[in-house]
């Protein structure tokens, strides 16, 4: 499995976490990003969830590499870029 396939699998596995964040009072910024994405680009809900999951996967990967705690601020920053996908770190 190449790196892209691994990332696709990670994103699929994170969709339930994104769905939970969409309804959680702890993460209202995720719902805001979701609604903004749907308005801006006429995307399907599943595509919007996958974009958010991509940001979540990117933050999880970064915390592993950098040996640090989850950064809610960095996650929010990544979500702010959507629907454009951030390139690089």
In degrees, rounded to 5, the angle at the alpha carbon of residue 30 between the alpha carbons of residues 43 and 70 is: 125
Question: pLDDT by residue (tens digit) across 4-51?
Answer: 677 688 899 999 999 999 999 999 999 999 999 998 867 899 999 999
Q: What is the dihedral of CA 18, 43, 87, 28, to 10 degrees?
A: -40
Note the pTM of the prediction, 2 decimals. 0.87
On whether residue 69 sits in a domain, the answer given is yes
Tell me what pLDDT residue 85 has: 67
On whether residue 87 sits in a domain, the answer given is no
Total domains, the chain? 1
On whether residue 86 sits in a domain, the answer given is no
Tell me what pLDDT residue 53 has: 97
Which position has the higher pLDDT, 1 or 71?
Answer: 71
3-state secondary structure of 13: helix
Residue 86 in this model has a pLDDT that exceeds 70: no
On whether residue 8 sits in a domain, the answer given is yes
């Amino acid at each position: 499995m190449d790196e892209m396939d691994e990332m696709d699998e990670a994103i699929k596995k994170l969709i339930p976490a994104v769905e939970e964040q969409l309804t959680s009072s702890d993460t209202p910024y995720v719902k805001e990003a979701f609604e903004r994405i749907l308005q801006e680009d006429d995307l399907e809900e599943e595509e919007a969830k996958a974009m958010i999951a991509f940001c979540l996967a990117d933050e999880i990967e970064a915390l592993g590499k950098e040996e640090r705690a989850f950064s809610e601020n960095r996650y929010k920053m990544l979500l702010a870029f959507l629907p454009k996908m951030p390139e690089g770190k």
